């Protein structure tokens, strides 16, 4: 097939997130889109190949679906994996995409070393707020939290930063622990 210079694989995602950290699965779903910038219409993927940084190669796989489960060696806790994709289409084939990454969270319960934060309170709503000093030599860090859905199911934010709600998630400037 001819090379289509205007076709490329973009929007690489893992578990529907761009470069997520803190994943809670050893075999995440990988997805991508094909961008046809030359005005091509009706472009259909015929095959793809996914490569995960010298760990795993799917080989050329026939199919139109732009999703697959990571099939390499099991991912360990806190392990980061780079991956990329290329595709063959009815309008030509793409080059390798840019690299994307995903990082596992703590996957084994025995590895957890944190303790539950609790408080004695007279009201049903307790707010925890704390300032944290980060040493200058820290290169990378992550923090996570859980939110509660109406149905009562836990949902991890998995690398997404929750948006602060003005007046709700912010401390007034005069409050202890507030940032200047």
Q: What is the pLDDT of residue 69?
A: 96
For the chain, the residue count is 180
**Distance (Å, whole) CA 13 – CA 6:** 21
Q: Please give the CATH number for the structural domain made up of 7-103.
A: 2.60.40.10
As a whole number of angstroms, the distance between CA 128 and CA 24 comes to: 25
Distance CA 29, CA 16 (A): 8
One digit per residue, pLDDT tens: the chain, 180 residues?
444 448 999 999 999 999 999 999 999 999 999 998 877 888 999 999 999 998 999 999 999 999 999 999 999 999 999 999 999 999 999 999 999 999 999 998 888 887 777 777 777 777 767 777 888 888 777 665 544 444 444 444 444 445 444 544 444 455 455 454
pTM of the model: 0.65
């Amino acid at each position: 097939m001819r090379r289509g210079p205007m076709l490329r694989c973009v929007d690489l995602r893992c578990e529907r997130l761009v470069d997520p950290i803190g994943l809670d699965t050893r075999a995440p779903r990988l997805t991508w889109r094909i961008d046809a910038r030359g005005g091509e219409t009706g472009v259909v993927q015929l095959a793809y190949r996914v490569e995960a940084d010298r760990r795993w190669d799917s080989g050329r796989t026939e199919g139109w679906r732009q999703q697959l489960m990571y099939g390499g060696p099991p991912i360990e806790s806190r392990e980061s994996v780079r991956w990329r994709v290329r595709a063959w289409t009815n309008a030509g084939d793409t080059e390798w995409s840019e690299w994307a990454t995903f990082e596992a969270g703590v996957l084994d319960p025995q590895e957890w070393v944190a303790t539950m934060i609790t408080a004695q309170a007279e009201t049903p709503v307790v707010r925890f707020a704390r300032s944290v000093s980060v040493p200058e030599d820290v290169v990378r860090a992550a923090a996570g939290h859980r939110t509660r859905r109406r149905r009562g199911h836990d949902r991890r934010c998995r690398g997404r930063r929750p948006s602060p709600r003005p007046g709700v998630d912010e401390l007034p400037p005069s409050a202890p622990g507030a940032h200047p």
